[in-house]
Amino acid sequence: MRVIAGSARRIPLKTLEGMDTRPTQDRIKETLFNMLQYDLADCMFLDLFAGSGGIGIEALSRGARLAVFVEQNARAVEVIRENLKAVNLEDRALVMHCDALSALQRLEGQYRFDYIFMDPPYRQQLEEQMLAYLTHSSLIDKQSTMIIEAALDTTFSYLEPMGYVMEKNKEYKTNWHVFVYRGE
């Protein structure tokens, strides 16, 4: 795994060995960031279920003002810190070692994010729990975009009743990215 573009372009990133995390493949990461590239400059980026931090680091490399990394696996947190040091972007990052819901509660009132990327363990409805919390949160507004990486068989039928709109999605072989914003 490596940084695709920006100030840290081509720098390799460490990943956690084993099956505890699923690093987003470089080609999928490149497709995702090609979709976001014009809106990243000076943005606030939240990487929930951050794993090795590859997504948030890519956002920082491409000009995000700040990225917050949330991960509850202690070894993965160490890898995120090592990767941030390797790309020299620690000064624009906050790493939180806790579960995602606790992080959202602790961040409340301190930040407003332009992008929230979440790649939770598949088929556990964690993305639904995060979106339920964010429904009335000050962490997002109508311009914020939530990007969820999920298994292809994940259904998002709960979005509209929660007040969210699926803006677009991109399917891959085994998973997809769903782009969501808070509706009127």
Cα separation, 119 vs 150, whole angstroms: 7
**pLDDT reported for residue 58:** 93
What pLDDT, on a 0 to 100 scale, did the predictor assign at position 14? Answer: 83
Q: 16, 17, 11: which is closest to 57 by C-alpha? A: 11
Question: How confident is the model at residue 36, as a pLDDT?
Answer: 84
Tens of pLDDT along the chain (184 residues)? Answer: 876 767 766 777 888 775 455 666 767 888 888 888 778 899 999 999 999 999 999 999 999 999 999 999 999 999 999 999 999 999 999 999 999 999 999 999 999 999 999 999 999 999 999 999 999 999 999 999 999 999 999 999 999 999 999 999 999 998 999 999 998 6
Residue 60 CB partners (closer than 8 Å, separation 6+): 6, 8, 45, 67, 87, 89, 92, 93
* C-beta neighbour count of 58 within 10 angstroms: 31
How far, CA to CA in Å, does 66 sit from each of 39, 90, 181? 14, 10, 20
Strand ranges for the chain from DSSP E: 44-48, 66-71, 93-97, 115-118, 145-151, 164-171, 175-182
Do 48 and 73 touch, CB atoms closer than 8 A? Answer: no
- Model pLDDT, residue 109: 94
Structure tokens given for 122: 């598949």
pTM: 0.92
Domains of the chain are: 26-182 (3.40.50.150)
* pLDDT number for residue 22: 61
- The tokens describing 51, both together, are 């794993």
